[in-house]
Structure 1
Amino acid sequence: MKNIKVILAFFLLIGIAFVSCKKQGEVETKTTKKEIAKIETTSFKIEGMTCAMGCAKTIENKLASLDGVQKASVDFDKKMATIQYDGNIQTAEKLTETVEAVADGKTYKVSGVK
């Protein structure tokens, strides 16, 4: 009789675990879905970069972490950044301000915004 109670308790705990995990996964899926209403692309030159792994990668990561930015790439050799973003959330002006604010705020200068 004691073994039956232990077995039933075990299955009850397993059932609760499966149900609660499923509900948590559903909530995460619903809250992380974002629709992009207005996709825009901008590109610009960045002066002041001295290396690909430090400067260019730092700027690229900073841009990519901004809300509304879908993709950011910084080409060190061409000294160019290209960013795809939701125009309802970001603007080209905010993106250039972000780049120029990296490091001490005086190292990188943006020009030729398209």
Structure 2
Amino acid sequence: MKNLKNIGFTLLMMLSLASCKQENKEVTVEETKKGVVSEADLAKMQTASFTIEGMTCAMGCAKTIENKLAAQDGVGQAVVDFDTKIATVKFDAEKQSLESLTKTIEGVAGGDSYKVTESKKM
């Protein structure tokens, strides 16, 4: 029985460490199924930042929010930095707004986990 507890504890520790390793990688439309955004199109897009509370790890929380933002119509690029708790998004203002992007962030994981405490256009 003691060995079973040790094995269970070891597996739990390995799982928790593997799920929270840090990786800062920009997610662009090219990595989603929407298509390709050119550098010229990205340059024309507006940029906004969002301060997000409630994230507990880089690979689970931050990566999920990043992927949800990048998958939105009109979003050319999304980067979520777990350490600073800031999401930076390049978007087409004709298709998205600060309010719609905030709703996307706060709606991830059923809407109970994340809260945007500040948003601003840059």
TM-score by length of 2: 0.63
AA aligned opposite 1:101: G
Q: Against the structure 1 CA distance between its residues 33 and 101, is the aligned structure 2 distance closer, same or farther, given a 3 Å change threshold?
A: closer
Q: Does 1:105 align with 2:82?
A: no
Q: Unpaired runs of 5+ in structure 2? A: 1-34
2:100 equivalent among 88, 94, 97: 94
* Structure number with larger C-alpha Rg: 1
Give 1:112 shift: 1.3
Give 1:111 shift: 1.4
1:71 equivalent among 72, 77, 91: 77
Structure 1 segments (4+ residues) deviating >4 Å: 32-38
Q: Against the structure 1 CA distance between its residues 113 and 33, is the aligned structure 2 distance closer, same or farther, given a 3 Å change threshold?
A: closer
Give 1:101 shift: 0.4
Give the Cα separation in 2 of the matches to 1:33 and 1:56: 23
Give the Cα separation in 1 of the matches to 2:36 and 2:87: 27
Q: Unpaired runs of 5+ in structure 1? A: 1-31
1:2-81 map, 5 Å: 36=41, 39-81=45-87
Q: Against the structure 1 CA distance between its residues 90 and 48, is the aligned structure 2 distance closer, same or farther, given a 3 Å change threshold?
A: same
TM-score by length of 1: 0.67
Q: RMSD in angstroms over aligned alpha carbons?
A: 2.0
How many matched pairs?
A: 83
Give 1:44 shift: 1.1
Give 1:33 shift: 7.6
AA aligned opposite 1:85: F
Identity of aligned residues (%): 59
